[in-house]
Structure 1
């Protein structure tokens, strides 16, 4: 709901309120963002200004070029209405909806521009506003979508007091999911050129700074490391100049009260519907106020606008929850599923896939792939994905990107015949591509060296032996569309993994005019969006999965076109605990690609139990990226059982409500179906501690009065886990590592513990279940829980059918 009453703007969602006020001076003073409130007297919230502090700037009442003051009266008269004289107005200490440079507010500005005369001072004041149901698309940019009844829009028009340029602030309220989005649109309505050096998407000023900024940083193979920094003084900045949203600093971040936990505390979440260089800042002012802002990174952005031209910033997403990080996450998850992900796959269950990469790398041929396909089908795989190595002369990562023709030596009958054979087995067929890249050793580069992003006549710094195609060039955009159109039409392709394996360097485009090269990175992203908009529109049946060396471009912009993203090239389950939990703060499980791979893991060389690899991967879109050709009959049987169990619980995992449950020395996750009738929860051990026999499983999100059947799937244990300790129970000595030990272990398994209870939801969530005693080194039987390093347990909860009596 959006309303404006006596200059007070109120934006309300189901549980939150966002309030700001049009002051007599024409500024927009921010009052409140948080728990829902009503305000009858705006004066109670207004900043009080009697006298200016020393060393501060008074906004002043100096007349404009026509000799009129802010009220349109001769300058000698004072402004009427609540508040103080404008002469004592200190913008540096005012909570604002938007800020500029040059009039006393020296904090981070929302906008920075240069007039043709070189001046940089701007003074945007209220002109008019409009409120309407629904939301209009942003031209050239993806943005949130919703039915007319699901979203309401507020547009506030501000005009620079000393020129004819206009700034529009756009607000979109998604009431049902407690989300408000914002963006900025700059219009050069004057007669002269203007250079726009900064236009952020949102700005929120808080009355105090008693918060932490929570960001998610990292690198390739260790994405989304949660960092917590107190907002004490100065600036905290999370940004990237990688040319992509980047694994170094995801655009999602949080502002949280310092006492916040998963279940308690005021928490704010912010994100951008954008895939390029971003910038987020939390700045504590000299007066103890906190300003939070986010948008396109201004360090890599400058745009000259001619009269009549305009620029639209990406959409920023904001949400608030009073019930801690889990509450905030629920808001973000619901918003992304309902208003970012779209098309055929929005609510469709994602298939269990097999990816050929770790089974074959570049060494593929039709025979090997079909052999893998037969085993994949046998274990229950629904989608067979051919990864890198199928095109050009692609035998390593040093050639052929840009040459999107099938390698007939590897696939003599082409993609069409291979896809048909996979379909005959009963699986869908998918393929890997990396369209945005070009290899120096490629026919494409030899024909069009000017298509590569590089500075003519200067050495080029490559990444993964490849260069980036210049997507600011419309000819290159069309080449990608035509190339991918041919590939996606060659056979019955139902899935595409769209990769992008390097960041930007030596940025330059010969087709851009000199004054446009300063905004190259943004123009590249616009070119990419044009390509994706075209291809996704032409192939709506294809499930597109974004990938950029894993999570190097994991953002809401990509999710607007691709319903899921490969979370990380690191498939080690223990690493994935941190990576997937990091993503879960801002992104739902239905968009996270997660695979079971072989051990030792190919990224860490760590050995992790099979069940733990499976249990972790279930909290995402499950896939297998292991060598089924070398798998034992026993292992294939385990995979078959795993996939069957996942399919039973798939809708809960992919579209349920996810909870992180705070534990002292474990990871604990749970997901509950939307009707709260089903739940699945897991405990993950990192390093075992001696003499810790007790373990409690506590649930979240269940109906308090429902009776749930709580159970696990009992595991069997290889007796080799006991090593030489087995001799304390064996009538004959068994040497650890010996052939007899191998033979006995092959035919004799130790039965694991079983948990099976009927319990009310309130008891399960408030008190929890005391699980079977953990192994403490003094004995073992089937009532003892083996919970060694990297072990896991998963428990299932199903509401019992109520009797008709």
Structure 2
């Protein structure tokens, strides 16, 4: 599969006839990873087009001849395959760039000026391509950061104006791609609170399919900025051409998938331009967020492993490091706790064997006490009734018990019933002439305001300054943006249309400042569940909370879908009392990522406690493979009675297999073996069942050895059924 240039007739005449006058003007720019290539080429008028996307050719010089193979003359419908489509001139396609110039003119054109490639190291290089409007003093630089071994491209644009006065950016995409295939199949996701990452696959047809968010904060609530795109036919885990794409932006996003009149596909991704016309002053720059993508011709599994390897190595904070197991008090106490209750939970955490205790919502506010979600948010002083000795006392007591201490915050938000709201109503996002509208009884603070940025930073900084031993932060964000209006932008005579963009930029300023001062403290990115996770936020966070829905049956499906885009060490999975499944099932599901607990340990019976303590120990023995190994999804729960996936170490000496029953109908289960992946065919392996509940025996013959060839060709049956609803197996090279 490749992308080609739909050229003007003159250029096709050149390609066939070999016109040497034109040939001097034609520039071909290959953007290559280890296995793939995106290739652009100029025409005789110096417009830049995408001519190829797909598997890398062995002879780079052959890219330049690709346009000559096309007979699609684009005479009447405008040029579709622009590398960055301008608006208002020669293209009638959906634009990547839409500008109102200083004189009011709304047309733009972009021609090639120059390009260069800078090599950062043996694996990373950055190609920058400068395009310029031949009439107006507007310049766009396209950046392509190549991670060769991971087959990942990170793409963004920088828009610069030298016009005498302000211009208005009406659309400003990060990426503009072009594909040719027989057909296109888009997998995207929808949902809401407790129903995140619900997948849908559809065949794209003529016209534009838009994925977008207009929520401001918690922007991923209904739809995340991530997708899978299959070419020719729907891709499987091991077969098919597929692109995984995701936008690294924590606010409103938009992705346009446009099937043009030639049945070729245009993709434009970036910040949502809805209500977001952005002024750009003379001599200023506007940098768009990164659009990150990887391509594979060997199915979804390889593509997701590409992305995982890239994310752990280059993007997620401490992505190649370790994580803390924790005990959270939320479902044990909700808002009803005091120092005595918490002290008992510290001891429970120590008894269980976890690393950390996490104190959740409800520890703050006095005038309007935080005894429910209706009051106190924004007043970040310890509640003297619940915690008369303060956070410092809790930190010391946890430390003395032999466990670390972490704490929940939601510093971007405020309850109207709070001292902060009374003192600073001008810090709140709300329309002055309309009734306030709440989500979880709260409103966002205006992070476009530098004073608010300082306040939010100060909330965390004060906690760390007064309590340096705090070892973990859970950062929540539970409301979207209604009635978008910034008193700060109004007062400073800036445009209200900047708010959605400037809010996110303000958030990043706070996080950058925090990480400069506290570079290593683990932080969970939470937003009423997975309402915000993206690869820009994960520069600052070690992990994210996929969903408030911790029912393990639901989590099997959610975690499966999240795993296409995010590695397991970034997913926080807690054992809770949600669901009807036994404790072993709930624990086994949570062990597929970063394990945590949110249960009352003192309520466990003797066997449950014995099992849970052993489960933490078992998890500690396999967590490195789960966090840093290669993931192989083997049996899809959406299509089968059971699910199975495995993590394999890079040296293929050890693997961990997880399998779960997802259908309780008569005789449901794994009645035949399924093929494993990620092993070495020539190696011999033993298989051992882990995490057995006390006084139960395995159905696996643990004294038998198998070749990797056997396990990957014939397969293995973990014997999942209604009596063995969850199974974890360790696959070890036989010595």
Q: TM-score, normalised by structure 1?
A: 0.84
Separation in structure 1 between the aligned mates of residue 69 and residue 714 of structure 2, nearest angstrom: 49
The structural deviation recorded for 1:277 is 0.4
Q: What SS does structure 2 have at the residue aligned with 1:794?
A: strand
User: What is the Cα deviation at residue 52 of structure 1?
Assistant: 6.5
Deviations 1:33-64 (A, max 9, x none): 2211134345531167999777x26xxxxxxx
- Displacement of 1:677 in angstroms is 1.1
Equivalent in 113, 116, 131 of residue 130 of structure 1: 116
SS of residue paired to 1:91:
coil
- Give the count of matched residue pairs: 698
Structure 2: any 5+ residue segments left out of the alignment?
1-23
State the match for 2:613 in structure 1. Answer: 640
> 2 CA distance for matches of 1:661 and 1:152?
34
Deviations, residues 617-654 of structure 1 (Å, cap 9, x unaligned)? 11110000111132222221111011000000010011
Moved more, 685-694 or 170-179: 685-694
Structure-to-structure mapping, 1:130-279, within 5 angstroms: 130-134=116-120, 148-208=121-181, 210-244=183-217, 245-257=219-231, 258-279=233-254
Deviation at 1:325, TM superposition (A): 0.5
Q: 2:711 aligns with which of 764, 788, 800?
A: 764
Secondary structure of the 1:102 match is coil
Residue of structure 2 in register with 1:508 after alignment:
485
Look up the SS of the partner of 1:126 in the other structure. strand
- Which residue in the other structure is 2:42 paired with? 22
Task: Confirm or deny: 8 A CA contact 1:596 1:623 kept in the other structure.
Answer: yes
Structure 2 counterparts to residues 89-488 of structure 1, below 5 A: 90-92=78-80, 95-134=81-120, 148-208=121-181, 210-244=183-217, 245-257=219-231, 258-342=233-317, 345-392=318-365, 393-488=369-464
Q: Deviations over 1:712-739 (max 9, x none)?
A: 138459xxxxxxxxxxxxxxxxxxxxxx
SS of 1:299's equivalent in the other structure is coil
Is 2:734 aligned against 1:795?
A: no
Residues 1:713 and 1:185: Cα distance change in structure 2 (over 3 Å): closer
Secondary structure at the counterpart of residue 107 of structure 2: coil
> Cα distance 1:791–1:469, how it changes in 2: closer, same or farther (>3 A)?
same
C-alpha separation in 2, matches of 1:237 and 1:421: 52
Q: Decide which moves more: 22-31 or 415-424.
A: 22-31
Which residue of structure 2 aligns with residue 35 of structure 1? 55
Q: What SS class does the counterpart of residue 155 from structure 2 fall into?
A: strand
Q: For 2:534 and 2:66, how far apart are their aligned partners in 1?
A: 36
Secondary structure of the structure 2 residue equivalent to 1:131: strand
Q: Distance in 2 between matches of 1:298 and 1:335?
A: 29
8 Å CA contact 1:695–1:771 kept in 2: the answer is: no
1:736 alignment partner in structure 2? none
Shift of 1:310: 1.6
Measure, in 1, the Cα distance between the counterparts of 2:705 and 2:177: 48
Q: Deviations over 1:392-437 (max 9, x none)?
A: 1111101111111111211111111111111111111100000001
8 Å CA contact retained: 1:498, 1:544: yes
Deviation, 1:755, is: 3.4
Aligned residues of 1:752 and 1:786 also touching (Cα < 8 A)? no
Asked whether the equivalents of residues 714 and 753 of structure 1 are also in contact (C-alpha less than 8 Å), the reply is: no
Q: Would you say 1:531 and 2:510 are equivalent positions? A: yes
Q: What does 1:642-661 correspond to in 2, within 5 Å? A: 642-661=615-634
Superposed counterparts of 1:491-502, under 5 Å: 491=467, 492-502=469-479
Paired residues of 1:352 and 1:381 also in contact (CA < 8 A): yes
Equivalent position of 2:654 in the other structure: 678
The CA distance in 2 between the partners of 1:487 and 1:35, in whole Å, is 51
The one-character-per-residue Cα deviations of 1:63-94 (angstroms, maximum 9, x if unpaired) are: xxxxxxxxxxxxxxxxxxxxxxxxxxx514xx
Please give the secondary structure, in 1, of the residue aligned with 2:67: coil
8 Å Cα contact 1:277-1:300 kept in structure 2: no
Tell me the residue number matched to 1:722. none
Q: Work out whether residues 714 and 751 of structure 1, in 8 Å CA contact, stay in contact via their aligned partners in 2.
A: no
Give the equivalent residue in structure 2 for 1:624: 597
SS of aligned partner of 1:504: coil
CA 1:531–1:622 in structure 2 vs 1: closer, same or farther (change >3 Å)? same
Larger CA Rg, structure 1 vs 2: 1
Distance in 2 separating the partners of 1:509 and 1:613: 44
Aligned equivalents of 1:259, 1:241: Cα separation in 2: 29
For the 8 Å contact 2:667–2:722, the answer to whether it is kept is: no
CA distance in 1: counterparts of 2:288 and 2:182, whole angstroms: 27
TM-score for both structures, normalised by structure 2: 0.92
Higher mean alpha-carbon deviation, 15-24 vs 497-506, is at 15-24
Distance 1:49 1:100, change over 3 A: farther
8 Å CA contact 2:700, 2:718 repeated in 1: no
Cα offset, 1:698, TM superposition: 2.8
* 2:20 corresponds to: none
- Whether the 8 Å contact between 1:262 and 1:662 is mirrored in structure 2 is no
Which ranges in structure 1 are unaligned for 5 or more consecutive residues? 58-89, 135-147, 718-748, 773-784
**Change in CA separation of 1:652 and 1:620 when aligned onto 2, cut-off 3 Å:** same
Q: Deviations over 1:216-263 (max 9, x none)?
A: 221111111111111121111111001143131111112112241010
CA distance in 2, matches of 1:51, 1:378: 70
**Equivalent-residue separation in structure 1 for 2:672 and 2:697 (angstroms):** 19
CA displacement at 1:152 relative to structure 2:
0.8
The one-character-per-residue Cα deviations of 1:307-365 (angstroms, maximum 9, x if unpaired) are 112211001112101110001100111111111123xx332211110011000000011
Candidates 9, 12, 28, aligned match of 2:29: 9
Contact in 2 for aligned 1:595/1:622 (Cα 8 Å): yes
- What is the SS of the residue equivalent to 1:242? coil
Question: How far apart in 1 are the matches of 2:182 and 2:254?
Answer: 20
- The question of whether the paired residues in 2 share the 8 Å contact of 1:233 and 1:285 is answered with yes
Determine if contact 2:573/2:593 at 8 Å carries over to the other structure. yes
Rounded to whole Å, the distance in 1 between the matches of 2:691 and 2:404 is: 32
What residue number does 2:8 align with? Answer: none
Closer/same/farther in 2, CA of residues 510 and 754 from structure 1, 3 Å limit? same
In the aligned structure 2, how far is the partner of 1:176 from the partner of 1:716? 42
What is the SS of the residue equivalent to 1:556?
Answer: coil
User: Which residue of 1 is the match for residue 65 of structure 2?
Assistant: 44
Tell me the distance in 1 between the aligned counterparts of 2:701 and 2:269: 48
Deviation at residue 574 of structure 1 after TM alignment: 0.5
Q: Deviation at 1:687?
A: 1.4
Q: Is the 8 A contact 2:102 2:164 kept in 1?
A: no
Local SS of the residue matching 2:30: strand
- Shift of residue 771, structure 1, vs aligned partner: 4.9
In 1, the alpha carbon distance for the partners of 2:158 and 2:68 equals: 27
* 2:729 counterpart of 1:753: no
C-alpha distance in 1 between matches for 2:699 and 2:142: 59
Secondary structure in structure 2 of the residue aligned to 1:667: strand
